[in-house]
Amino acid sequence: MLDFALGAKSGSVLANDSSVQFATFLVADLVSSGTDLVGPNSETEFPAFVNKLVKKLLLVAVKSNEAREKIVGVVGNSVVEFVELVGAFGCDKKTISIAHAVFGAVTDSPAQLHRQLTARLLPAASSTIAKLVSVESSPTLTSTPSLQETSARISELAALVFHNISGFFLKDSDLIRLKSQAAWDSILDTTVSVSSGIPQAQLEAYLKASLESFAHLSGFFTSDYDVVAPILPSLLKSVALSSILSGNSRLVFSKVKEFLDVVAAEHLEYDAPRTEISVVALEALSLLAFNVSELAGEAIEFLTKFILSPKLCVGNSHVHITVVRNCAIAMLKKSLVLLDDAAVTKSTLYIFVNTLQSSSVQGGAFVHEACVSAIAGLIPAISTRQTVEVAVPAIVRKIEASNTDDAQTRAMWESLEIATLTGSIDVLEEAYPVLSSSIVKGDRLKFECSLATKVSLPLDVGNDKGLFNLSTVIKALCDIPGFHPEVHASEELILSFRNFWLVITAFVFAPRAAWPKEWIPIVTSIASKTPTLALGAKHRSLEIDLVANSVLRLKVTDQVYHKVKSCLVGSLYSRASETKSVSNAIATFLLSVFQIELFRVGKGSFSFFLDYIKDERYYETDVFPLLQAIGEEVLFAYTKGKSIGKSSIQSSFKALLRCGSHRLVKVKHFASTCSVRLLNAVPALLWDKTLVCYMLDVVLYLDSKRLVLDDRLAVLKGKLGFELHFVDEIEQAQAAKEYRALCANLLNLALGYSLSETTLTMQEDSIWDPPVLPLFESPPSQTSTCPPPP
């Protein structure tokens, strides 16, 4: 009916007098009767219909000069009518939803129509708000219900005006459709000069009425706080935008400053409404400074004092205070960036540094924490030189002076982390001594956890500069002697390493199917310190774990995943069909594991990979055969390594011997196959007395019924270093039988080589005459180092 009425066909707009007359009559009638509609969809479908109808009418007005005046008149009258409705009868949901539908269409209209309709709106809003304030100020109407009702009406009027004039700040039509808070956040990000073209007198009249209502309502901030607190934020936003458009930012700037002083001085609990008021007031103050450069210096000074004001902490919730303080820090940071004055930035930073140095953790905890938070927040906005010369040394001194691990000390560590992660390598070098010493001593092992959890990883193909800088920091930590997360790591740290490898594998390695030259030393170092990327403790499914608990829960494009799968298929060509069938997340995980273990075996260690094979959560899944294929490729690379030493081969072969005693058949088979391959590559392994005795100890351990003395079993268990996990004695006996068969096979294989060939191999591989470690403590007269055969 709507398209028929307006004659819209095939995307064009064809309007005649009768269709326009009918449509404008429809708008006027629907708008006036819409608030009387009832039904389940009256608050959703009807406003959407009204919005669509008004938009189409305004589109006709753009195309047809003849119809423009009539349409603008009808829509303008509807706007004024809604203002009067809200002012006279309050703000029920149906009225407000229809009003926002009309105002949304007006805000989204072309600039000329937007100006014309706003010129109709502002005088009506000004007079209506002025009447509401005058009625509320009457000595005969001072009861709380009257105040509450009037406040709500003024708040809704301010919200409607804000919705309308926000279109002058948000040039993108998509942004104009944003809800109030999202639109406000987007406006805070804009710094361009704004001109509405609306008559100055109308803007100033609305600003005057709004300021009077704000002054009147804020006067009840103490006596009727619960009534006025929820409605002041929308009024503040409307006042801020209208003051920028009218050129009266300085006047409003002073009023907002005074209001913030009142809010901070009042000894009221910082609950959610009061927190929102403070945040909006700080944002409004800063927005005025963003758009008027003359106010920037004054805003910076005020925000600095506000952050350090002890009044904020008196009897208030730490959570709400932190929200308000962080907002002030964010606004201060942006003000400094926009001002772009190195001297002002440095002097502001020195204020916090000097206050931090003079503050006491016990006596001035709030100020102390405020300084640390401010320095951490400002670091991204200041130069590397200022960070190195001012911020980092001050934080380090406070860390070194503290002997406790209280909240303030942890906050300083967090500041140091932020400084290091957001700065250059120069910043890392400045903080390096304290980081290094604390990590080596074991005082601070949570620093590395933030590397993958707090840093925003750039998920763009080809844009790996940010990843390279982050990787450089991680390499510096991994190069610290005594730091061994691969040996012992918390689940949080393991998941952090996993996130890191998933990202660099997908966005650095996969697009090129190779590591860039400058990345190789970095990933080689990090791989050697990477723990096994196991699943989270709460998950049994790799797929669910990766989607819910890793960086892959973020949006990764199909293009990236296509490159990942191509690399994985190329690497595991014998398993191409299985590789193509796994999910994108699992493919990324497997390729990451493949790359980590290839780098790790290059340094001489194969045993870490066996942790994946032994994890029973993979056993009956499609992942296990692919892990087996990866293991075979990794072992092949290991046996071809040129720098593999005696201790590495011994360690890897021992790990395979342990794995061969596993209760699961496929795990035992994998270990047996790899043992044979490793023995074929290095036949001298089973001429090593230590390894032969270790293998026989495993046999004895599995056949533990023959160990009558419990203390001997305990000694054997301690030397082997692993537990037995069998369902029952029958399963253990079968495992012992199969393991003896494995040992016999390995011994026959070793004996199959001639003595001269084996001796030559032993000399080439440098594993002859290894140190003999007795399996049991023996009397001096006893020379055998092996236990009697079972």
Going by pLDDT thresholds of 50, 70 and 90, the confidence category of residue 428 is low
Is the predicted pLDDT of residue 313 greater than 70, yes or no? no
Burial of 745 per CB tally in 10 Å (0-12, 13-18, 19+): middle
Identify the DSSP state of 403: -
Average pLDDT, integer, range 429-453: 53
Report how far Cα 188 is from the mean position of its chain's Cα atoms: 21
Which 3 state secondary structure label does DSSP give 739?
Answer: helix
CA distance 524 to 598: 9
pLDDT at 597: 93
Residue 201 lies in a domain: no
pLDDT value of position 422: 57
Report the C-alpha gap between 238 and 274 in whole angstroms: 18
Domain that holds residue 417: 341-434
Residue type at 685? L
Average pLDDT over residues 184-210: 75
Q: Contact 229/150 with Cβ under 8 angstroms? A: no
Average pLDDT of the residues in 610-637: 89
Q: What is the pLDDT of residues 205-232, one digit of tens each?
A: 888 888 888 887 777 776 777 777 777 8
Give DSSP secondary structure letters for 90-109: ---HHHHHHHHHHHHHHHTS
> Band of the pLDDT at 774, cuts 50, 70, 90?
very low
On whether residue 409 sits in a domain, the answer given is: yes
With H, G, I as helix, E, B as strand and everything else as coil, classify residue 783.
coil
Question: Highest mean pLDDT: which of 54-58, 493-497, 533-537, 603-607?
Answer: 493-497
Q: Across all residues in the chain, what is the average pLDDT?
A: 73
**How far apart are the two ends of the chain, measured CA to CA in Å?**
94
- pLDDT tens figures, 96-114: 777 777 777 777 777 777 7
520 falls in which pLDDT band (50, 70, 90)?
very high
Specify whether the CB–CB gap between 306 and 328 falls below 8 A. yes
Instruction: State residue 459 phi and psi, 5-degree precision.
Output: -95, 65
Give the per-residue pLDDT at 300: 92
Q: How confident is the model at residue 370 (pLDDT cuts 50, 70, 90)?
A: confident
Give the pLDDT band (50/70/90) at residue 44. low
Question: pLDDT-derived band of residue 419, with 50, 70 and 90 as boundaries?
Answer: low
Residue 394: inside a domain: yes
Q: Comparing C-alpha atoms, which of 203, 311, 301, 196 is closest to residue 252?
A: 203
Domain presence at residue 179: no
Angle of the 296-308 helix axis to the 249-265 helix axis, nearest 10: 0
CB-CB contact of 656 with 678 (8 Å): yes
State the average pLDDT over residues 55-64: 75
Confidence of residue 135 (pLDDT cuts 50, 70, 90): low
β-strand partners of 769: none
Compute how many other C-beta atoms are within 10 angstroms of the C-beta atom of residue 323.
17
Q: Which residues pair with 231 in a beta bridge?
A: none
Alpha helices of 34-92 — where are they, by DSSP H?
A: 45-63, 65-89
CA 613/CA 623 separation, integer angstroms? 10
Band (pLDDT 50/70/90 cuts) for residue 742 is: confident
771 pLDDT band, cuts 50/70/90, is very low
Domain count, the chain: 1
For 672-717, write each residue's pLDDT tens digit.
888 888 888 877 777 777 787 888 888 877 776 555 455 666 666 6
SS3 12: strand
- How many helices and strands (H and E) does the chain possess? 38, 2
Q: Is residue 396 part of a domain?
A: yes
| Per-residue pLDDT at 556 | 78
DSSP per residue over 651-701, as a string?
A: HHHHHHHHHTT-SSHHHHHHHHHHHHHHHHH-GGGGG-HHHHHHHHHHHHH
Is 405 inside a domain boundary?
A: yes
